Structure 1
């Protein structure tokens, strides 16, 4: 990491705080930013190395072994750019590399040499290079702005200015400004990007996805959710696109793998890039989640997956093309259902309401706070009342393009057509068309790769029927203009749009419609007309949403500021895909009365589940043979007389922590995080040691499968096992 000046590092990055060090004997909630490690009480909790061995500005630490793999986390585990992450994090790249003949998703993949490694299309690696607090710069730009829309516009403008300035100073980095506390704290991150990523070792599907959706978000678990990738760069060491001439990347730091693993109650910690949590939000936000977003998206994704499963039943190529969409939907679907269950079980809305009422009373009890924040809670309530009035309209608009591939195709074509029409002359149109045609084709081809006419037709028909039923502020003008009297007519109209469009033929679109500027501009289609009209509705609604975002930005900044004063403590900011640390212990739990869940599962559990005869519990026969022969090698856990498969711990994780390295007290890799228990899906809103448990694959199982089952001993040798 780069060393900044004293002023930059003297800022307590991510939070404007000046509190004494908190020494926690047991883990508490918190995904600690690197600048806040001294507040975590790591040494008291069991860390055996120095905190500076984890992170020390200007020097090499464990954080330098961490990478962001698209939306997941990974870690370097060799000097030659070898990375370990989750199977599900590499899933889309494995899908794109697969064909019905060479089905790496189903059969797995083992490269016995660098030359055999396969391009991981769509995957990039990001490494956090440095960061600095820029809150003062951004908030100063809106200090005297009262108009909500203008506030959001200026914040985004200032963020972009800071990004451009950072990238101008160092063209080798990509910069981002992340909002740590909404409307309050902003941090500029500098990232190094590696574009050439390759598949090295992918376990077969019956290992990497053992348990399927039956076991997803469930404990006990027996899933080998791991994959090995490799980062490549140009011969000059700089990031470069895929090329046979590229060489393995040499990281500043890589993690040492400890094949002995851990025991129950051992201290463990995780570094990673957790996605988003929403713990510092008022009761109204939780109410919106419980009443609108979670049930709407759950029902929609369930319908989508049913149609996509049907589409792939009779065609293996279609099933393969839709595999990533189905997996992502299923993961979100079960997560959201778990959240709904958790919200109701702990009655979080009423808990938040009581907290907010106490906060309001605190504000009114202090004359200085009353004059500044006296209307804060009523303003929050008024804003969410407005948001709830057209919640279904917003959710429908947010999901229409992710639901239907041809709607995204139509949007791409209409966008290109509009820009082409804005050129001043036919010569400029031709030049612009030729300069951008291939990029448009590439974008369209990526969408067509996961397209199913059968699924699209039925999903769009379903979306039309939903929209037709909306009332009041939720009505969508483009749908209303069609005068579809009931759900059946709406369903039939949506179905007909897909059935009759010329866009359902990839070859025709890429080769004929995009053959020339004149052919492209002359092309018309009912689906293009519908998308164009709908886009106007969406753009009009976006103006109102921007205004609301501006109001929310200011209100949430004030809400957190007052809450800090009320509770006389500082907050760890919500996760936002930036590098964080969380810690805890290997620990079981009791999810229901009279039940205790042990923190380790074993190969014996794989055999037991396999005996149920369900497809989700199929596994390679070699596993049973090796288990029956007690061919455990050095990976056995003596207390279990078996190889541990998955482990459970009370760390604070969320989406984005998939693939995060689980480390012991000495900073050695002992597992890879991949999931949470069903009761812990609510972690995004609230964390509690009684039910918040995360799940990882034990490194001993990874090594055992690589050694005894998949004969990938080169992996062990490269890791120094």
Structure 2
């Protein structure tokens, strides 16, 4: 994992998790919309700098856009928080945050025991003193940002070698981060690449390290429908939870302590318990992960041929193995719950993307677009001289990536597959880092208490037998790779192609009384030098060492590819702007964005129309299927007694549960607040429809829909099922 982090951008480029986004596009006259299925100007995850350049008032916003984002004052943006990679929002002056059930699932798993199974039963703290630590969960709040493109590009001035150019730019990015963090010890900085090779922005974040669980509904509500309903509409999942942020008494970030006090946000959202209606204007603020709408056809081809099938099949195998191990072992079932949930979410998403790529023929559509672009370039001698080779050179660069696809995808997954191998690499990385001057050390290694806490979280999801099965599978796969994708570290174990017996022997030796499975033993390893770790002759550590050396051997190759594609991407974006005569909607890259739209149904197939609301009646109807559709008996009783409190909707003819809208979202938008025209909270985003999984590559207003839990269901469950009236009181909701 830590080896992976060293070459993070290169590997993310290969496995398709790098975006090319634009931070401050200047509007220019547009040409006719592209063919259906490709991006248009109405889509978008707008960065903060663009909010005042979009027609929010015309779309239906009823407040001043400055109330949404005000760079010189307090606005709704100040209520937003990144919660462990998801989005959340402050909803009280006492640091109360609402986000998704699935966003705190890992923390819930870490707190669960055989005696207190919070995963299944949920959790409620009737007083602040009863709130429990959300282990492994932290929050960050966007504090400020600045364009640092000139500084980073200047660092590469005069460097023609792609690998050296990439190194120089990466070095400058690290310097800028360290400089920002040294000026203010309470912030964390991050340089986000917007357009590759063109635009870079330094973001400063305020960290909150003490997060506590306040209320989480039972799994039968928060995960109602399970994987059967994941990425599906109609939906009836109560995917919400409440956590609280704590800081030291002086307001500074601090690790968990009973002496800490609730965080006082600059702004918190007002909850509107009346919800919204069909065709109402809505908008979302959040931290969307990655989209790839400006990528070339070869990128989509890589996704379709290599990444999506490989990851889907691998994760299906791992899920099945863990589910089988947990069938008759409740302790293992709890331990694996978070991992299974995460893998299942990814694999279903990837299968949806794969289906969309094929059914919409997106690779062919992108190629036709590029053919037209090349014709535009060739028809102008000056453009041909400057940009004529961009598309052919891009194709050549990606083809080289295809040749080593299996190797690179495998390297991107090996540390995720084997926890012991990941820990061994961590120990080696820590030993190397500890020899550096403090100014050059990794921030994650300077705080030993925090590092130990993170390590304990890793061990909390660890299962020795699962690790054994997963590593064996990965080694067997690699032993069958063709030339060009061979991994010498695996060949050293297998000795010859496909030698299953040799791999079995290694696995038995590696896992026979391997003390790496003991957290206390592992922590002692962090006191050892690099040479001392090597001298242990631990088979897992030896494999981690070999993989490190091997990855280093082709670092120049990957750096060169990265540098080449950065330069080509920058030129490709330049000429596409000239061709289309318009600015591009920014690709997402985990920075704070806005998207807007309307509560709206859609037609996924001929003669089929999906309305934009589901109700409690649908929950009851599905409950008779059992299994993933089980419900608490109390919920059934409340329904039969028509005890809906103030949350019944005459227009929906029932208690609204989930809603559908045509906003542009992706991973990372989980937990994003859905706000009405007045900036009031009316729901929490948590998913997309299956047809919309393709959104990451292409937007279509006909079928691109996102799914949220209606605030009326959130409040009803919290009050009637959870008995947490105190939360509604804190929100100012009158019962």
**TM-score normalized with structure 1 length:** 0.92
**Alpha-carbon distance between aligned partners in 1 of 2:505 and 2:135, rounded to the nearest angstrom:** 37
**Residue 643 of structure 1: which of 655, 679, 682 is its match?**
655
**Correspondence list, 1:548-697, <5 A:** 548-613=561-626, 615-697=627-709
CA deviations on 1:567-626 (whole Å, 9 max, x unpaired) are: 00001221001110000111111111111111111111111111112x110110111110
- Gaps (5+ residues) in structure 2? 1-20, 34-39, 438-444
CA deviations on 1:202-223 (whole Å, 9 max, x unpaired) are: 1111111111111111111100
SS in 1 for 2:44: coil
Cα deviation for residue 667 of structure 1 reads 0.5
CA distance 1:436–1:158, change in 2 (3 Å): closer
**Correspondence list, 1:62-461, <5 A:** 62-416=76-430, 444-461=455-472
| Contact 2:109 2:338 survives alignment (8 Å) | yes
| Contact 1:128 1:190 survives alignment (8 Å) | yes
| Contact 1:29 1:687 survives alignment (8 Å) | yes
Cα deviation for residue 313 of structure 1 reads 1.9
- Which structure exhibits the higher relative contact order, with contacts defined as CA atoms closer than 8 Å and separated by 6 or more residues? 2
Deviates more, 1:180-189 or 1:279-288: 180-189
CA distance 1:375–1:315, change in 2 (3 Å): same
CA distance 1:519–1:536, change in 2 (3 Å): closer
Cα deviation for residue 154 of structure 1 reads 1.4
What residue in structure 1 maps to residue 481 of structure 2?
A: 470
CA distance 1:513–1:76, change in 2 (3 Å): closer
CA deviations on 1:420-462 (whole Å, 9 max, x unpaired) are: 8x799xxxxxxxxx99997876565443222112211111111
CA deviations on 1:237-262 (whole Å, 9 max, x unpaired) are: 22222111111111111111000000
| Contact 2:24 2:49 survives alignment (8 Å) | no
| Contact 1:37 1:51 survives alignment (8 Å) | yes
What residue in structure 1 maps to residue 718 of structure 2?
A: 706
SS in 2 for 1:473: coil
CA deviations on 1:46-79 (whole Å, 9 max, x unpaired) are: 1111111101111111101111111000001111
**Alpha-carbon distance between aligned partners in 2 of 1:708 and 1:655, rounded to the nearest angstrom:** 31
SS in 2 for 1:190: strand
**Alpha-carbon distance between aligned partners in 1 of 2:485 and 2:588, rounded to the nearest angstrom:** 31
**Alpha-carbon distance between aligned partners in 1 of 2:303 and 2:503, rounded to the nearest angstrom:** 27
CA deviations on 1:131-189 (whole Å, 9 max, x unpaired) are: 12222222222232211111111111222222233333433322211111111111111
| Contact 1:456 1:498 survives alignment (8 Å) | no
Cα deviation for residue 39 of structure 1 reads 2.9
| Contact 1:464 1:494 survives alignment (8 Å) | no
- Gaps (5+ residues) in structure 1? 1-11, 425-433
| Contact 1:412 1:440 survives alignment (8 Å) | no
Deviates more, 1:406-415 or 1:617-626: 406-415
**Alpha-carbon distance between aligned partners in 1 of 2:131 and 2:179, rounded to the nearest angstrom:** 37
Deviates more, 1:154-163 or 1:184-193: 154-163
CA distance 1:416–1:194, change in 2 (3 Å): closer
Deviates more, 1:530-539 or 1:686-695: 530-539
**Alpha-carbon distance between aligned partners in 2 of 1:438 and 1:132, rounded to the nearest angstrom:** 32
CA distance 1:508–1:256, change in 2 (3 Å): closer
Cα deviation for residue 492 of structure 1 reads 2.2
| Contact 1:647 1:696 survives alignment (8 Å) | yes
What residue in structure 2 maps to residue 489 of structure 1?
A: 501
What residue in structure 2 maps to residue 14 of structure 1?
A: 23
Cα deviation for residue 323 of structure 1 reads 1.3
Deviates more, 1:306-315 or 1:165-174: 165-174
SS in 1 for 2:194: strand
Name the count of aligned residue pairs.
697
| RMSD across aligned positions (CA) | 2.5
Deviates more, 1:462-471 or 1:663-672: 462-471
SS in 1 for 2:610: coil
| Contact 2:125 2:215 survives alignment (8 Å) | yes
Deviates more, 1:294-303 or 1:317-326: 317-326
SS in 2 for 1:696: strand
| Contact 1:461 1:493 survives alignment (8 Å) | no
| Contact 1:124 1:196 survives alignment (8 Å) | yes
Deviates more, 1:168-177 or 1:564-573: 168-177
Cα deviation for residue 397 of structure 1 reads 0.8
CA distance 1:536–1:246, change in 2 (3 Å): same
What residue in structure 2 maps to residue 430 of structure 1?
A: none
| Contact 1:76 1:83 survives alignment (8 Å) | yes
CA deviations on 1:509-536 (whole Å, 9 max, x unpaired) are: 3488679879867532222222222221
CA distance 1:352–1:499, change in 2 (3 Å): same
CA distance 1:710–1:438, change in 2 (3 Å): closer
**Alpha-carbon distance between aligned partners in 2 of 1:507 and 1:706, rounded to the nearest angstrom:** 38
**Alpha-carbon distance between aligned partners in 1 of 2:214 and 2:643, rounded to the nearest angstrom:** 25
CA deviations on 1:338-383 (whole Å, 9 max, x unpaired) are: 0000111110000000011111111111222111111111100100
SS in 1 for 2:377: helix
**Alpha-carbon distance between aligned partners in 1 of 2:646 and 2:585, rounded to the nearest angstrom:** 41
CA distance 1:247–1:603, change in 2 (3 Å): same
CA distance 1:85–1:515, change in 2 (3 Å): closer
| Contact 2:270 2:731 survives alignment (8 Å) | yes
**Residue 62 of structure 2: which of 34, 39, 48 is its match?**
48
SS in 2 for 1:646: strand
| Contact 1:208 1:226 survives alignment (8 Å) | yes
CA deviations on 1:380-418 (whole Å, 9 max, x unpaired) are: 010011000110000011101100111112223344556
